[in-house]
Amino acid sequence: MTIFQNNFYKYYQFILKFRMAIIAMFTLIFIYLVITMTAFLTHNDDSLWLKGSNEYNKLQDKTHQQIYIQKLQLKVGNKPFSKENINKLQLLHSNLEKLKHIQKIKSPLTHNAIISSNDNEGSSLIELTMLYGKSIDEIRKTLKESFKDFSQFYSPNRETLYVYVFSTEAIDYDKVYIPFKHKIIGVAEKENIFKDSILFSILLGTLFVLFSITFRSIIPSVLGTIFIAFNTLFTLSLYQLIQPDVPIHVSILLVAIAVSIMDFVYIYYGWHIMQHAHSHKRSIYYIMMKTIKPIFWTTVVSVIGIGSLIFHNSIILQSIGYNVILSSITAFILSFSLLIAFLSFFKIKNPYMITKNSSRFFAGLEAKYELIVLKGFFLITILIFIVSIVFVILKPTSMVTKSDNKVISLHFPSDGLTQEALKKAEHFHHDIMLKFEDDIDDIVSIYKYTKGFTKAYNPAIEFKIEDVNMDFILFDFKLYGIYDDVVKESGHQMSIYLEEDGIDKNVILQWIRTWDKENTTLLDDVNSLLNSAKNDTINHMIVVVVFILFLISYVIYHITQNKIYALIALIINSIPLVWFFSILIILQLSLSIEILVAMIIMIALSSDATIHFLYYYHRNLRYKTSDEKFLEHSFIEVGTPIGIGSTILLITFVLLVFANIPTISSIGIYSVLLITGSLIADLLILPVLFIELVKSKSIRPA
């Protein structure tokens, strides 16, 4: 025995000797945590995205309050200006105004239009018209005759009316009577502890059934459910200890479950099939020796690679990073302590080998592969990779969640209504309209109203900021009640309303942030802040993914001392990511926490499978066997637990697709795509690529 084997055998004997004490200790800890658990789950990831983001931090530093802008899409039919619709709109205003946190409502009723007229003596009279409070007949007449001034509130066919609600807190619109058929853009999911409990009960029940079917025994079902429950609860508790004030997004729990399943399957499957030739206790020692190194290195990859997310400012990325670190380390500890102690009490008579025939079938199939097919697959993947990279470089905002909320609210710090403030507003108006004139409906600001009043008084003169009488303008602003709307907190507000079918809002947001060289302009609406926060994570996520790929390659090189093995690891783990990103681009899907969680699950699974496969190849290539026999053994030893674990996860995530929780459903869809890609790469591409490199003598048997 080597020193490692000797010490490890002593550790194995220690576990068996004190197995009752180990089980009792972990069980007592589990019960205590169940009783004292206070961590709460959230479906809404908005606050997690905002905390730590650059634009949100700027807002907090200036102690400026964020604004919630909710866009209501109201169906008004083919008679948009009917008495019934005007009545309903007035009722909606009345209902919204009763709410506590409403700041303002922008609709045809509250829209300000500056109108000038001449009196009998030839003097200009200025009037700021607002339809709010006028009779239904007056409102209908104005909308019909001056529709151009109100067109921004209607769809091109006039069958949909847009109302924008500005508030200082998020509004629960389920409690507001809206007298139209309507659609509310961007309403967050509600928390539902009962629904979450039912979901995870079904999840554990599904895993219980799948383990029983796979191994034709109830033992793995009981042990697997216990192992997953222990690891999930320990992860939650440790996370709560590290970040007590940060809620756990419900989706991140799935990462802990995914890690638990794979570690459990590797150890249980090995112990299960080894009982064909060994006693159940001797099988425990052998499987511990076989799996300790690959599981250790996959844990290292997860902790260092995915765990590096904790160094980003974004709370959501930190949350994912901490959960991966804690779930990976906890699963590793439980795998070689609690799970081993449990296994020592059980014995499998006539252990069932589920993939004996299929392993032989796939091995024979892959041993007779066509090289041209392999080359064609890699060529297509490379082309897709190049196209995806070019697309993201040229249009990085495409990776950010597209917003249906076509409003941007800005705050420009200033000393109130001054000529300097007007000059900056004019400069901004000029630049943004020069770039996005066809995509902007309206910009409400001090510049718009100042120019409107000035031109109304004397349409013939050229408007110049230098010639503006600020006292008159200040008087008009206060006379017509618009001062408080556009001048706030030693600064001035600007609201940009975008065309419904115009350019993506994120493109304009990024332009605004680039335009602001002084870094003083504040985005203060929550939707824009969220989009900016997500955009800021793109580069970091790309760096982390690349770092993980090279970390996996380094770990493989460290294990094998062979650069070709490292190159194989890099290629195989890149394939599902390349294809997944191409799908995102083709389907125009954008970055979200659901996609991030699915990517993390896939990377964890892919690195896990790659390390186990290449570790096996490295140890067993020295034996002189045919390609077919070598592949068959690798499928039985490594491919089967990978296939079992991934298939169980696939079925589990397919069930999640049908969950009545949008976040969970989305994670289910993305995870199914990524896990399928990972399975194809690990079970079909990796073995064939390895055999080809052996044939070309790039890899030589020891």
Question: For the chain, which domains are there?
Answer: 1-36+192-350 (1.20.1640.10), 66-184 (no CATH), 353-404+526-702 (1.20.1640.10), 407-499 (no CATH)
pLDDT of residue 498: 86
Kindly state the tokens that stand for 315.
């709370």
Kindly state the tokens that stand for 196.
């979450």
d(CA 598, CA 608): 15
Asked whether the beta carbons of 381 and 575 are under 8 A apart, the reply is yes
d(CA 537, CA 546): 14
d(CA 644, CA 269): 9
**3-class DSSP state for residue 335?**
helix
Asked whether the beta carbons of 496 and 443 are under 8 A apart, the reply is yes
pLDDT of residue 400: 54
**How many C-beta atoms surround the C-beta of residue 122 within 10 A?**
6
Type of residue numbered 372:
I
pLDDT of residue 184: 73
d(CA 44, CA 555): 37
pLDDT of residue 75: 92
Sheet with 181-184: strands ordered across: 102-106, 160-167, 68-75, 181-184
Contacts of 674 (CB under 8 A, 6+ apart): 576, 580, 598, 599, 601, 602
The parts of the chain modelled with pLDDT lower than 50 are 1, 120, 122-123, 187-189
pLDDT of residue 263: 85
Q: What angle do CA 510, 516, 520 make, to 5 degrees?
A: 120
d(CA 62, CA 327): 38
d(CA 442, CA 449): 12
How far are the Cα atoms of 490, 500, 657 from residue 398, in angstroms, in the given order?
35, 17, 24
**How many C-beta atoms surround the C-beta of residue 696 within 10 A?**
10
Looking at beta carbons, which pairs linking 281-290 to residues 24 or more positions away fall under 8 Å?
281/16, 281/344, 284/12, 284/16, 284/340, 284/343, 284/344, 285/9, 285/12, 288/8, 288/12, 288/336, 288/340, 289/5, 289/8
